[in-house]
Structure 1
């Protein structure tokens, strides 16, 4: 080990293994989920006009003892009466009575019934009781014009909750159209037109085709120093190949040395809620080179999984989704030079929520939150592994971990925005390398290599001041920091925490079919934490071509 002679405070680089390779490859940059750039519904033709005017406003006044409501089926009478309570016992003319009806209309609109209209029907007012009638705005007919790759049956299943005679609730309707628009192979737009009956509307749903195949090719230097820093990858999505709103996804990734990654997933919607069920398989293979080449170390990580994705809220300005996932991972690490064979199996279940929204706070911005809880078990293959684990790490058996990520993009002034991100993990016990939390890398503290400072629990935060002088071009100055607990339950008296911090600059240029990013970062708080040779500043490069 003479090649690793360092200062007393320096750490000997950890030998990368299958779990760490899998974690580094599958780590992704926290992002905002896309929100629709235009409304999925055109209801301009059916927006109610103001109540018809009489020949004269004002006129004779009458004593109003109470109001009587007619035609309200979906809004409680008591709630409507509460909007008029201050008018009981008052003197009103015709204009005042129409204003009372307008209150009911506005209340309906506030509840999402944008096509509802309250009005004064012909009546003879007796004993001071005034009638107000309500047209709640209902579906007359639902028509589908489908030219997409998704079958009529799937689209109609998603529309089955909208029935003729039911009231038109704009938020619910837009949510349903947005869920249909999420189906691969279809771009969905709805239009409301006047129906055949007074107070009714016909919904026309237009489903246009989208490309059968989409994907991208990417190149970066995000890899591990010992398995290949420079990587070339590709993504391929086959959209609705069976006309079910299904999707087949493939990803291949290779490094300039000895790391290969394969991933495949298939998902399809089921039920009127368009719940997406899917399965995935992946395999990563690696061999260590450079400083660890003498070990003749190599290994693999094979994963099979099932997942369920359910949109809970789908709106133009806010989305909330739930995900359940089960994974079975088989990890193998061999060192031929010393005849060492190690195998592990992890079974892991994860429940997660993701929320994305935009608002007008302090000039406008976007926010996102991702929270997940995972519970699993680790089984070690050999007695030698189990004995060593009992004496040291004690990671075998059941474990749990909680993960949280928060994002905010805040508009400041003109072309300037402020971006903030915080990620954290809390573990119940010492974890396998595949489940740990890392500080370094292109999505962490950017002055340090991918995977630097890995531990069981920790947090990492970034703050960026962004400047966009023109569409597609962004400059940023950033600061990163993080702290980890190396072992949740330490078994030695050695220091069990590590901190990293950095600052740097980045530039991103993007267009309809490409994106190029370059960043450089300098360490602020040095911890002698290295995976490969020291680099100051550290450069990150990534280029992506979409098709």
Structure 2
């Protein structure tokens, strides 16, 4: 049992998820062509466009330029207005349209056609279900954006939807204010959530049964703050980890403060002659994250985190290893939904060990020790691709690089739930490495019990730096099949058979197929 690995093994990477739609009930802008318009003809000499500020007349002129100097019908005139309306909507101005105002159009000689652009905006904003004073500030940009752009509305609604436990629906309706629509937001908040699960994805030294319990409460400080407590253990002294996490928005534009605290203790069972092994890890993290882009198609967030952890291991009361690490991490996460029915996600992080705040200093450690002032980078990429209504595929890969010998908790670990799942958690670790997986899914659906069948293939390699500066490489592969279940009363579970390859499982001494199963409930 390596100190600091429990926290790393239980940390899941971001995954691309299928978009849930944001409901916006908007009036339909339809061009009403009068009866007989196809029979009314005139010679179009000029088009006068009025009321457009968001898009220039020059940018819209190709909607009518090909018709100037030619005989057209009144239906063609309404077609020009429809093309201008479509151009506005394509540019994201969802409440704007072009109309043909009352006018006399000459049918003898050259005619001048007037078209008026109505650039729509939000007049009044109302909130029901939650205190308006808490959510109205998030919609301030929507109210002042004239004409209203879809990007502004989407960002505001998505930021509200990311508030802890909040769900909302937006409705656009007619307004008493000319050219305006009113926005009504119906919102609710679930103030707490709890879960419990048990599974056997663990190592014998830490107990074959892994138990996990978590609870989350929101709005404790009267704001959209979130506080969660999580316990992971074996049911005895072989493994116990307790973690607290909190976050809260700063302002109303996607800036968030994050706090994390965790402590783990482990007294693993081993077959070694050494006994009474005790590992400890204490962690603290402080961070800020900013939502840079928020839309239905594209999201981008950046983050900065200051972390500190003290890890140690003892054998029979004697300290065998001890790390005091302080590090700065800078990262970004982005995803894009495309027209091929897929979502691509990328997460990149750069980490630098510090020499202050109580950290170990490289100059004070033996030459073969890990460098506490390390530099490393990690990248994770994934794509979730819909193949049909029931079939989908997940393709994901991760990689890590470093030029220094890293502390144990900073090394890339393969094995466990995320990559190379036929092996035990952190079966192999190393400063450098990469892994990839392909998972094919088939959604069986169901009324009381929904199920998804899946099959996967994974491969990976790590390189661990040795005392002489060389690297020891280890390659792994795994294949498997399984089923994920979602039942009544928010129960969930899975059953999986995985086959390790290229290397024996250390705890088993062979490459035989293994069975994994888990059961949980959310409430």
TM-score clears 0.5:
yes
Q: Is the 8 A contact 1:217 1:234 kept in 2?
A: yes
Counterpart in 2 of 1:194?
174
1:106 and 2:86 aligned: yes
Counterpart in 2 of 1:424?
399
Residue 164 of structure 1 and its aligned partner are, at CA, apart by 5.7
Counterpart in 2 of 1:500?
476
Q: How does 1:19-418 map to 2 (within 5 A)?
A: 19-24=4-9, 26-28=10-12, 31-33=15-17, 35-36=19-20, 38-43=21-26, 46-53=27-34, 56-64=37-45, 66-123=46-103, 129-145=112-128, 147-148=129-130, 151-163=131-143, 166-208=146-188, 210-256=189-235, 257-292=237-272, 294-336=274-316, 339-340=318-319, 342-361=321-340, 364-377=341-354, 386-388=364-366, 390=367, 392-393=368-369, 395-413=370-388, 415-418=390-393
Q: Is the 8 A contact 2:33 2:78 kept in 1?
A: no
Q: Structure 1 pair 174/494, CA: closer, same or farther in 2 (3 Å)?
A: closer
Of residues 446-455 and 466-475 in structure 1, the stretch that sits farther from structure 2 once superposed is 466-475
Q: Structure 1 pair 341/439, CA: closer, same or farther in 2 (3 Å)?
A: closer
Q: Structure 1 pair 197/511, CA: closer, same or farther in 2 (3 Å)?
A: same
Q: Is the 8 A contact 2:81 2:99 kept in 1?
A: yes
Q: Structure 1 pair 439/309, CA: closer, same or farther in 2 (3 Å)?
A: same
RMSD: 2.8
Unaligned segments of structure 2, at least 5 residues: none
Q: Is the 8 A contact 1:137 1:201 kept in 2?
A: yes
Q: Is the 8 A contact 1:453 1:529 kept in 2?
A: no
Counterpart in 2 of 1:4?
none
Structure 1, residues 312-350: CA drift from partner, whole Å, max 9, x if none? 33334543333322211122222236x335432222222
Distance 1:116 1:57 in 2: 26
Q: How does 1:440-455 map to 2 (within 5 A)?
A: 440-455=415-430
How many residue pairs get aligned? The number is 514
Structure 1, residues 430-450: CA drift from partner, whole Å, max 9, x if none? 211101112222322123221
Counterpart in 2 of 1:511?
487
Q: Secondary structure at the match of 2:205?
A: coil
Residue 416 of structure 1 and its aligned partner are, at CA, apart by 3.3
Distance 2:418 2:360 in 1: 35
Q: Is the 8 A contact 1:40 1:174 kept in 2?
A: no
Of residues 326-335 and 373-382 in structure 1, the stretch that sits farther from structure 2 once superposed is 373-382
Counterpart in 2 of 1:11?
none
Distance 1:97 1:56 in 2: 9
Distance 2:161 2:319 in 1: 52
Of residues 509-518 and 223-232 in structure 1, the stretch that sits farther from structure 2 once superposed is 223-232
1:466 and 2:444 aligned: no
Q: Is the 8 A contact 1:141 1:164 kept in 2?
A: no
Q: Is the 8 A contact 1:438 1:454 kept in 2?
A: yes
Q: Secondary structure at the match of 1:23?
A: helix
Q: Secondary structure at the match of 1:162?
A: helix
TM-score by length of 2: 0.89
Structure 1, residues 283-309: CA drift from partner, whole Å, max 9, x if none? 111123222472422131111111223
